Amino acid sequence: MKKLPFVLLLCLPSVLLAQSAFNGTWKFNPQSAQFSGKANTFLLQDGVFRCNDCVPKIDIKADGEEHPRLGSPYSDAASVRVVDDHTVEVVTKKKGKVVSKAKDSVSADGNTLTSEWSFTSENGQEGHGKDIFTRKAAGPAGAHAISGAWLQSKEENASENVLTVTFQASDDGLSMSDGTGDSYSAKFDGKDYPYKGDPGTTSVSLKKISANTIEETDKRNGKVTGISRMTVSSDGQTISIDNTDVLRGQKSKFEGRKQ
């Protein structure tokens, strides 16, 4: 290919000379996920389901009936149904419409919890997946098998729209859109910018650590809910995201490849 004269190179837009390593669409591998931090604690006993680690806390009758859920940006009602001695179904609604379902099943030996979940986003996008949890503490005697403390050990699978994200970076900022309809456009100045599509995240701020690393801080009505550090490999083909869930005291890490 014929080389351009040096004087013409000087006149080309900088975006053509130095494309950001983040630009493009990335798909994350659920099998790459790593989890740490605080376990989730459930108690299902005497016909009542409690989750003190949920945000907000859940304390409702496990009778399969719809009950109010206050304080959640994602739902305003929830129902818990006991399927059998090892399985529970949880359904949440918002304004009368189902927004999430989860079927949680405990293994015969009581040490593994499998959660098969689905949701409908604010944008009408549907997603689903399967997560695996390992028991960290037993529940009280006589309680349902789901009772106790559980730490996620694996994300077995998830729908493609959950795993896909697109970035478009410039010298002073980054735009993001994902497969479930979430998006933002923010500058690397630490200021808050609107986050669209996720009712649990109202704003985002960005900090550029280096050419290949960006730190994202998510907030809900001014309160920090999560921090993510995104790093693209030196060859530009893989990305890793370290997430800190500030509200729940949990951490996760995922890796993805450029599509």
Distance of alpha carbon 25 from alpha carbon 23, whole angstroms: 7
When computed from its CA atoms, the radius of gyration of the chain, rounded to whole angstroms, is 21
What pLDDT shows up at residue 19? 79
CATH fold of the domain at 12-29+162-258: Lipocalin (2.40.128)
Q: Is the peptide bond before 56 cis (omega within 30 degrees of 0)?
A: yes
Q: Are strands 24-37 and 203-210 parallel, antiparallel or unpaired?
A: unpaired
**Domains of the chain, residue spans:** 12-29+162-258, 36-160
Q: What are phi and psi of 58, to 5 degrees?
A: -115, 135
Query: Is the separation of the CB atoms in 29 and 254 below 8 Å?
Result: yes
Q: Which residues of the chain have pLDDT under 50?
A: 1-17
Taking only the tens place, the pLDDT of each residue in 74-123 is 999 999 999 999 999 999 999 999 999 999 999 999 999 999 999 999 88
Task: Give yes or no for a contact between 128 and 158, defined as CB atoms under 8 angstroms apart.
Answer: yes
Please report the pLDDT score of residue 49 as a whole number. 98
pLDDT recorded at residue 123:
87
Q: What is the pTM of this model?
A: 0.89
Q: How far apart are CA 178 and CA 196, in angstroms?
A: 11
Question: Mapped to the 3 state alphabet, what secondary structure does the chain carry?
Answer: CCCCCHHHHHHCCHHHHCCCCCCEEEEEEEEEEEEEECCEEEEEECCEEEECCCCCCEEEECCCCCEECCCCCCCCEEEEEEEECCEEEEEEEECCEEEEEEEEEECCCCCEEEEEEEEECCCCCEEEEEEEEEEEEECCCCCCCCCEEEEEEEEEEECHHHHEEEEEECCCEEEEEECCCCEEEEECCCCCEEEECCCCCCEEEEEEEECCEEEEEEEECCEEEEEEEEEECCCCCEEEEEEEECCCCEEEEEEEEEC
